[in-house]
Structure 1
Amino acid sequence: MEPTDILGGTALHQLLSDDENRLLDTIDELRSQGVGRLLGEEGLPQLIVCGDQSSGKSSVLEALTRVRFPTKSNVCTTFPTELRLRREPKSRISCRIKAAVSRTAEDKERLARFQKSFDSPEKFPELISAARECMGPSTPGNSNTHVFFEDVLEVEIVGPKLAPLTIVDLPGLFHYRSSSSGDRDIELVTNLVQSYMKKSNSIILAVVSAHNDINNQIVLRHIKNIVPEGHRTLGIITKPDELPSGSEKEQEYLDYARTNPSKFHYGWHVVRNRAYGEQANSFEERDLKESEFFRDSNWNSVPRREVGLGVDSLRQKLSKMLLDHINLSLPSIIQRLEDDLGRSESDLGRLGETRSTVREQQNYLSDVSDTFSGYIKDALDGRYHRRAFFGDPLSTDGLEKRLRANVRNLNDEFANHMLEQGHKWHVVEESELDNDANHDHPNFIAKSAFLHHVDALAQCERANELPGLSNPLLVGSLFQQQSEPWEKIALAHVDTVWETVKHFLECLLGQLTDERTSNQLLIHVVDPAMDTKRQALKAKIHELLVPYKHDPVNVDPHFARKIWQLKQEQITRSVLETVLREGKKSEISSLSVDEIMARIATSDATADDKYGSLQTYEFVQAYYEMTILIFIHNVASLAIEQCLLTRLPKIFSSATIREMSDEKLKLIASESRDTRIERERVVERVQVLKTGLQTLKQIHPGMSWTAFIFKSSSTFLFGSQDLC
């Protein structure tokens, strides 16, 4: 038999119309080119046939597909069977067993060896039996026909006009089983069926037998719990011919199908399966019997808009359902394709044109250099919105690429660190010693204790100054001790900024060039230039610290005012502390100036300051507060800006490229065989994406996607007269 005739006699191709074929041909062309998964497996439609045991599920599938299923009364479906319909030019049928997770490694290996192919759908029942035997071999006196398995039989049916969907035949649900494994089997089957129902791409065909009471059908209870609003569900009533004509039970089913109390999205359909004596009948004879039954029965009075009748109209309804499922996914497919096209074009730009000659290599690096400089300028100017490279500001990746924002934030952190931890001693008044905020500094000290330290230094540094004064050089010596942490903090800061800039440049080159070229540019161009900048940064920090390692020089006209303000604060504090020690707080407002002066005169507030330590402390404090702000500003402007950022866009310039030897050009810009292959693949990918997008957007010309979705949704909700 020729491959193209394998599917002859089946009705699998009838699940698609010409419009669906055109749409799916486009999607499959994209898929065949390796352009992503488009919908992904979770997006492909999947028909699951579920119902109670012996409700006629397999018979419905057999009538629907015209592929023979085991339908004998003494053989039930004991494991999931997935018919994976896929579109390819040549037809073939093959299968394998997907072992359950609970299987042992030995079992999984044994089941993996089950690989079958066959040339006729008529042999499908034999395949089912062979798979069941492989899952659990029969033993003498112990048949496996009623043993349930979690393994899945995957049957791939490939042909040129098939709908890319999966049809799943599931074991039937049941209340009770007399065997010793009864409770386990009930739980196993229930979990299997529910797992398929919960998948968002599953279109549920809920099969109920008219032979049983509608309120006793287990499948309806599960659907109500899992899909309470009835989305993606179609009810199918089987065995309507077993109901006595005109009986109350027949009327009950007629009313149920018409009123749809389960609120199934696709309503209800009625199918007559083969009777016991008709098992040998052909599919044509089966369809004729069904047509005659509906013509002569009470079901003929049901409006076709409300209830579908017969397997032919069921195929048409499923065809519309499949198209609607795919149509609703089209906007997201197009969006994915457009995103993929954007990424592919970016990849193509990163790979550049072919570059086998020196001239081509120079041109390529020049293009990269121009783009590289433009991105850096935008990053330093804070123009992030102009380029997609900078990404989402709220994401970690996007924040890392905002160079100016990162540098400014680091400068702010540096300034705060300097103001909080830049002084060696944190001097506080005795009244503030209990403040927890002061404990954040490792060397907080009471002012009185610090003045004793100054006394000791002043005694060692004495010159020819008058009593009560300190050596003027003591101010510089004490300031150098107090500013000792500056160098360590500043060097750590410029190192952090340097690392941030280097990381940005690495990310940028990775975006603009292929991995090999990016690495070579880093090794031969960027890293040496950045190392030079790092040394310049350190040298600048040491240069900025030089004035503070010698005697203080200050020409600020506000310095004297600052000293006077400190003296005023000191005098005010001393007076208040003295008065408070000599009297009650409530009495202060009633004291005259002479009384206050008398109390100060009789107190110890005028302690002997033999070495002028208090004045020295005030000078150091005033000088420190003014110079630390200058140093912070100089680090940010003279070190970070001038030594690191100002000429950063020129770090890889056209001048750099002109100075390269031919050997270095080849080393950096020549492309590997992998790069050439990748470029060819990306070029082809871009072309396929453009063609696919153009085709998809022409499927419904002149219709907005909003209107398109509404139209598809309307078909879901209200159906169509041609479905029945």
Structure 2
Amino acid sequence: MTVPVHVLEGTTLDRLLSDDENRLLDTIDELRSQGVGRLLGEPGQPGLPQLIVCGDQSSGKSSVLEALTRVRFPTKSTVCTTFASELRLRRGPRSRIGCRIRAAPSRSQEEKEQLARFQGFFDSAERFPDLITAARDCMVKASKGPTVAFFEDILEVEIVGPKVVPLTIVDLPGYIHYSESKKDIDLVQSLVRSYVQQDNSIILAIISAHNDIGNQSVLTEIEKIDKAGARTLGVMTKPDELPSGSEKEAEYLLHASNNPNKFKYGWHVVRNRSYEEQDSTFEERNKREADFFQDSSWKQLSGTGVSLGIDALQQRLSRMLLDHVALSLPSLVQQLEDDLKRSEGKLARLGEARSTPKDQLNYLSDISESFREYAREALEGRYHRKSFFGDPLSLEGLEKRLRAKIRNLNDEFASRMLTQGHKWHVVEDEELDFETSSQSAITHPNFIAKSVFLERHVDTLAQVERGNELSGTSNPLLIGSLFHQQSAPWEQIASVHLDDVWNAVKDFLELLLRHLADERTGNQLLIHIIDPALENRRQQMRNKLEELLVPHRDHSPINVDPHFARRIWSTREERVAKSLVEAIRKELTLNKDKAPISSNEEIIAKIRRTESTVDDKYGSNETFEFMQAYYDSAILIFVNNVVSLAVEQCLLTGLPKIFSSLDTRDMTNEKLELIASESREIVLERDRLKERIQVLRTGIRTIREVRPGKL
């Protein structure tokens, strides 16, 4: 509920600040009201401070608040604060007061709706106690369960006026020393702690001189949260209730002057209204307080750094307020500048207003020009535009670095082809041991010993494809059949690679359009231009892959490499040499006392004996060697062809021109309207961004002018 008021007495803090300081607070409050960058109230961001008043029950909290704000608080000894009240003081040209109840999260939906209808009447600062009573009655009525003494609901009161310092003041329930319900004690402690631990809280720790210092719960609780006392000011109340010259008075005087709690802002002493003085004016209250400190023992504190009286407290709070804001200025300005940069970028992507076909054509032409430049740089591996490509030292944003992404995918493709492209992983018998078997099983599931492979697969295949070849010689056609089986995984591996590369390009283009255009236009460009063009290129890649697979899948092997035969003979020589060395090693191991082989005849005899142990009726060994030599040559050619002819030629070549100015010039007015027109949301967003940018620029300029030496 909001009502206008003709007269509003705000805090007197504003008259204690300079014009520049008031201007600074007004600027920050304006930023807050605009919701700029969520600058205030974030964790780690002091922002606009809030004044938290906490203490034990009947410690005089409400009386201190009343004297500070000149807003009447319930101060009767029989009435205690049972919920949090937030007074949000905001500066504005016209005075008004608004209030509402913010329901606790634990409330049911029905209870929340009932509290939302709260109609407490508050048309002047004098009527605040009535508002508190009405709010409590509303909370009680909304509660469906058993009657409770304290509530988690919050009464929010916004007070706007031309002489109000932008500040939030929170009145909290007092710490309870004893209650029949432990739930009440825990609820109050939890509620106070939730406010006190916020970094943007200035804490007024209120203690009553009427009670023993050791029994003041507020001091113990604050020490747990604000351990250094950096945000706390201690306030002693009711000094007039101590007998002059008494031991207890001396104890409090010593405590205030020594500051054993290590509060950064020390201690302050105020004299509140007595019961008989409840109806006195604020001026009368301040006069009686000044007379008391002039004539009592408390006067001696004035030279010890301890301040006395409400006027001095207002001055200290004004300094604390400015100090609190000053601490946040460097990070605040940085946030403003970051927000300004983001907002300007968003506005640039929206472009100028476009209501006519010419405006829409110009907008799309600008996008196509930038699209071509960004895409070309991404393909060439030039990532100097950090606003899009990001920081090179960061591993994030690789999907925007298109050439790097594709190079990495190509490397993964080549590695997978070399390790998994063959159907069988054939291992020489003499190399097959437990360690080799374990490692091979990890890298390739179909590993097999060469002798077993020749017997089970090559010999079996030779039997069904026998021709007129002589026994012991290989069938040339068998080489092709064996190769076709061995290279069977190529198609699936290459298809997956082409899909991965295509998806990488699609992701890149989507990110690029999101960077260059507003969301609606970007989506329309994807639907009508980019996606059809990409699908066409995807089909071209698939057709090219099919073309590249044909000679390896359907035709007999062809090789015109003049060094191919030399590689075959080298393989044979290596096989014979290995067999001989292994045979001699075994013989020497079994016959250690026998003289070593020395003559050529013995070596030849050993070779014959070794070769004769091989029963190669179908020439399978020779077939396998020819097939393997051809496979090793063909797989490299295939991998390079997939990368160069399918990926590069069919997908990447001409990619920057996939959306060109020619596409935009050929569009009909209807299509321009469909793709580049603005929704009402975009129009509103552009206006919002322009206003936001203006507020940000003004805020940065004002802060720098007010605090030129601090930033």
Instruction: Give the deviation of 1:307 after TM superposition.
Output: 0.9
Given the superposition, is the C-alpha separation of residues 605 and 208 from structure 1 closer, same or farther in structure 2, using an over 3 Å criterion? farther
> Equivalents in 2 of 1:127, 1:662: separation in Å?
61
Q: 2:678 aligns with which of 671, 691, 697?
A: 671
Post-superposition CA distance 1:384-409 (Å, at most 9, x none): 23231123568786122221121111
Which amino acid in structure 2 is aligned with residue 334 of structure 1? Answer: V
- Residue 85 (structure 2) aligns with: 81
Instruction: Give the deviation of 1:97 after TM superposition.
Output: 2.6
Given the superposition, is the C-alpha separation of residues 474 and 137 from structure 1 closer, same or farther in structure 2, using an over 3 Å criterion? closer
Maintained 8 Å contact 1:574/1:605? no
Which amino acid in structure 2 is aligned with residue 684 of structure 1? Answer: E
- Residue 712 (structure 1) aligns with: none
> Equivalents in 1 of 2:574, 2:365: separation in Å?
64
Aligned length: 694
Given the superposition, is the C-alpha separation of residues 687 and 73 from structure 1 closer, same or farther in structure 2, using an over 3 Å criterion? closer
Which amino acid in structure 2 is aligned with residue 412 of structure 1? Answer: D
- 2:120 is paired with a residue whose SS is strand
What aligned pairs does 1:221-300 form with structure 2 within 5 A after superposition? 221-300=220-299
Post-superposition CA distance 1:277-330 (Å, at most 9, x none): 322322111111111111222332334562111100101111111122222222
Instruction: Give the deviation of 1:340 after TM superposition.
Output: 2.0
- Residue 346 (structure 1) aligns with: 345
- Residue 636 (structure 1) aligns with: 643
> Equivalents in 2 of 1:586, 1:697: separation in Å?
95
> Equivalents in 2 of 1:427, 1:172: separation in Å?
82
Maintained 8 Å contact 1:6/1:119? no
Given the superposition, is the C-alpha separation of residues 14 and 93 from structure 1 closer, same or farther in structure 2, using an over 3 Å criterion? farther
Given the superposition, is the C-alpha separation of residues 132 and 588 from structure 1 closer, same or farther in structure 2, using an over 3 Å criterion? farther
- Residue 165 (structure 1) aligns with: 167
Maintained 8 Å contact 2:10/2:163? no
> Equivalents in 2 of 1:442, 1:601: separation in Å?
36
Maintained 8 Å contact 1:85/1:165? yes
Which amino acid in structure 1 is aligned with residue 156 of structure 2? Answer: E
Instruction: Give the deviation of 1:105 after TM superposition.
Output: 4.2
**Worse overlay, 528-537 or 77-86:** 77-86
Matched, 1:377 2:376: yes
**Worse overlay, 673-682 or 154-163:** 673-682
Given the superposition, is the C-alpha separation of residues 147 and 675 from structure 1 closer, same or farther in structure 2, using an over 3 Å criterion? closer
Q: 2:449 aligns with which of 446, 451, 464?
A: 446
- 1:427 is paired with a residue whose SS is strand
**Worse overlay, 388-397 or 328-337:** 388-397
- Residue 715 (structure 1) aligns with: none
Maintained 8 Å contact 1:173/1:219? yes
**Worse overlay, 375-384 or 387-396:** 387-396
Which amino acid in structure 2 is aligned with residue 545 of structure 1? Answer: L
- Residue 197 (structure 1) aligns with: 196
- 2:397 is paired with a residue whose SS is helix
Which amino acid in structure 1 is aligned with residue 390 of structure 2? Answer: G
Matched, 1:386 2:391: no
Given the superposition, is the C-alpha separation of residues 585 and 333 from structure 1 closer, same or farther in structure 2, using an over 3 Å criterion? farther
Instruction: Give the deviation of 1:601 after TM superposition.
Output: 5.4
Which amino acid in structure 2 is aligned with residue 450 of structure 1? Answer: F
Post-superposition CA distance 1:112-147 (Å, at most 9, x none): 332223222222222222223333369xxxxx9x93
> Equivalents in 1 of 2:113, 2:593: separation in Å?
97
> Equivalents in 2 of 1:598, 1:475: separation in Å?
31
- 2:403 is paired with a residue whose SS is helix
- 1:689 is paired with a residue whose SS is helix
- Residue 8 (structure 2) aligns with: 7
Instruction: Give the deviation of 1:374 after TM superposition.
Output: 0.9
- 2:473 is paired with a residue whose SS is coil
- 1:194 is paired with a residue whose SS is helix
What aligned pairs does 1:521-600 form with structure 2 within 5 A after superposition? 521-548=525-552, 549-582=554-587, 584=589, 587=592, 591-594=596-599
Maintained 8 Å contact 2:29/2:48? no
- Please tell me the root mean square deviation across aligned C-alpha atoms, in Å: 2.8
- 1:540 is paired with a residue whose SS is helix
Maintained 8 Å contact 1:83/1:157? yes
- Residue 691 (structure 2) aligns with: 684
What aligned pairs does 1:94-133 form with structure 2 within 5 A after superposition? 94-133=98-137
Which amino acid in structure 1 is aligned with residue 170 of structure 2? Answer: V
Maintained 8 Å contact 1:3/1:92? yes
TM-score (norm 1): 0.89
- 2:706 is paired with a residue whose SS is coil
Instruction: Give the deviation of 1:501 after TM superposition.
Output: 0.3
- Residue 695 (structure 1) aligns with: 702
> Equivalents in 2 of 1:134, 1:574: separation in Å?
98
Given the superposition, is the C-alpha separation of residues 571 and 586 from structure 1 closer, same or farther in structure 2, using an over 3 Å criterion? same
Instruction: Give the deviation of 1:211 after TM superposition.
Output: 2.0
Q: 1:499 aligns with which of 498, 503, 512?
A: 503
**Worse overlay, 578-587 or 338-347:** 578-587
Given the superposition, is the C-alpha separation of residues 484 and 339 from structure 1 closer, same or farther in structure 2, using an over 3 Å criterion? same
Matched, 1:319 2:318: yes
**Worse overlay, 635-644 or 687-696:** 687-696
Maintained 8 Å contact 1:393/1:399? no
TM-score (norm 2): 0.91
Maintained 8 Å contact 2:86/2:156? yes
- Residue 207 (structure 1) aligns with: 206
Instruction: Give the deviation of 1:359 after TM superposition.
Output: 3.4
Which amino acid in structure 1 is aligned with residue 85 of structure 2? Answer: T
Which amino acid in structure 2 is aligned with residue 243 of structure 1? Answer: L
Maintained 8 Å contact 1:94/1:115? no
Maintained 8 Å contact 1:59/1:274? yes
Given the superposition, is the C-alpha separation of residues 108 and 356 from structure 1 closer, same or farther in structure 2, using an over 3 Å criterion? closer
> Equivalents in 1 of 2:304, 2:566: separation in Å?
95
Maintained 8 Å contact 1:294/1:309? yes
Matched, 1:150 2:163: no
Instruction: Give the deviation of 1:537 after TM superposition.
Output: 0.9
Instruction: Give the deviation of 1:464 after TM superposition.
Output: 4.3
> Equivalents in 2 of 1:642, 1:9: separation in Å?
74
Given the superposition, is the C-alpha separation of residues 346 and 322 from structure 1 closer, same or farther in structure 2, using an over 3 Å criterion? same
- Residue 710 (structure 1) aligns with: none
Given the superposition, is the C-alpha separation of residues 12 and 124 from structure 1 closer, same or farther in structure 2, using an over 3 Å criterion? farther
Instruction: Give the deviation of 1:237 after TM superposition.
Output: 1.0
> Equivalents in 1 of 2:411, 2:70: separation in Å?
75
> Equivalents in 1 of 2:81, 2:524: separation in Å?
62
Which amino acid in structure 2 is aligned with residue 26 of structure 1? Answer: T
> Equivalents in 2 of 1:589, 1:196: separation in Å?
95
Instruction: Give the deviation of 1:415 after TM superposition.
Output: 0.9
Matched, 1:647 2:649: no
- 1:385 is paired with a residue whose SS is coil
Matched, 1:623 2:622: no
Post-superposition CA distance 1:595-653 (Å, at most 9, x none): 66666655686323222211111111111112211211221122211211121111112
**Worse overlay, 97-106 or 42-51:** 97-106
> Equivalents in 2 of 1:603, 1:544: separation in Å?
42
> Equivalents in 1 of 2:454, 2:687: separation in Å?
78
Which amino acid in structure 2 is aligned with residue 173 of structure 1? Answer: Y
- 2:151 is paired with a residue whose SS is coil
Structure 2 residue ranges without an equivalent (≥5): none
**Worse overlay, 160-169 or 107-116:** 107-116
- Residue 308 (structure 2) aligns with: 309
Which amino acid in structure 1 is aligned with residue 567 of structure 2? Answer: K
- Residue 656 (structure 1) aligns with: 663
- 2:236 is paired with a residue whose SS is strand
Given the superposition, is the C-alpha separation of residues 88 and 395 from structure 1 closer, same or farther in structure 2, using an over 3 Å criterion? farther
**Worse overlay, 571-580 or 515-524:** 571-580
Given the superposition, is the C-alpha separation of residues 170 and 589 from structure 1 closer, same or farther in structure 2, using an over 3 Å criterion? farther
Instruction: Give the deviation of 1:167 after TM superposition.
Output: 1.2
> Equivalents in 1 of 2:644, 2:264: separation in Å?
68
- 2:235 is paired with a residue whose SS is strand
Percent identity at matched positions?
A: 64
